[in-house]
Amino acid sequence: MKIRKIAGALGAEISGVDLAGGISADQAAAVRQVLLDNQVIFLRNQRLTPARFLDFAHQMGEPVEYPFVKGLEGYPHIIEVKKLEQERSNFGGIWHSDTTYLEEPPMGSMLLAREVPPFGGDTLFANQYLAYEALSDTMRRLLDGLVGISSSAKADVSKTREDRLRTDARESGPPPEYLAEHPVVRTHPETGRRCLYVNVAHTSGIRGMTAEESAPILEFLFAHQVKPEFTCRFAWEPDSLAFWDNRCAQHNPINDYHGFRRVMHRITLKGDRPR
């Protein structure tokens, strides 16, 4: 197994691993350590059936179902993330951490490229350890005691789901609204490091503050936490796989390929309650 960092902030590409043939427990532990060290990892040329994809996910954690979109036939834990030629919005097309509106947001997510456009469709990732550590001591002391409110119905992200809810919704009718409260700064349960845990897609306020009071704090954080020096960028190829740590990294799929199809398979892994 070879590891190559792709940026100064986060991200590493792993080569010399064939997930289609299966990996040992020791190899799985090594891969997971690379994830903890780099927040997001990438493996190319992984020609995986849904069953093999799910096998790898089980080695990394516990797959869970996504709340809004139904899974593949026979594989409820694998959803299809796609944008078709005639569509204008891309699923989750905004900076975010996945489903922070749940009481126990996911530990991580995996995305496997099935079809990619001839250009565009890259994904950006941002290191939330670095974003927190770059703040002043005074700002860190302020944020350490705050609790953010996350909503699944925030307009910034709801519109990115419209195409998929129209065709692949888990149930008919308007989607349910989920609300959860989590620390603005969380401690990673495995590394012990502190990181920012708000995001523009889902964080709608701060507990105990009026909207007018919380807005300038959140607007500052939303801009700060995705500064270029905290990010990396991944260019997809068919059969590429990305696996990110949702507890300390954000991501943003770039919507710059109108008129072309992009189809990915995604698995979400169970997390715990942020502290």
pTM: 0.94
| Token representation of residue 123 | 């994904």
The rounded distance, in Å, linking the Cα atoms of 54 and 56 is 5
Question: What CATH class does 2-269 carry?
Answer: alpha beta
Give 132-178 pLDDT, tens digit per residue. Answer: 999 999 999 999 999 999 999 886 676 666 666 677 777 766 778 99
- What's the mean pLDDT when you consider all of the chain? 94
Mean pLDDT for 125-137 is 98
What local confidence, expressed as pLDDT, does residue 176 receive? 83
What local confidence, expressed as pLDDT, does residue 274 receive? 98
Alpha helices in 61-194 (DSSP H): 128-133, 137-144, 155-158, 162-168
Mean pLDDT for 20-37 is 97
What local confidence, expressed as pLDDT, does residue 156 receive? 67
* Catalytic residue set: 96, 98, 251, 266
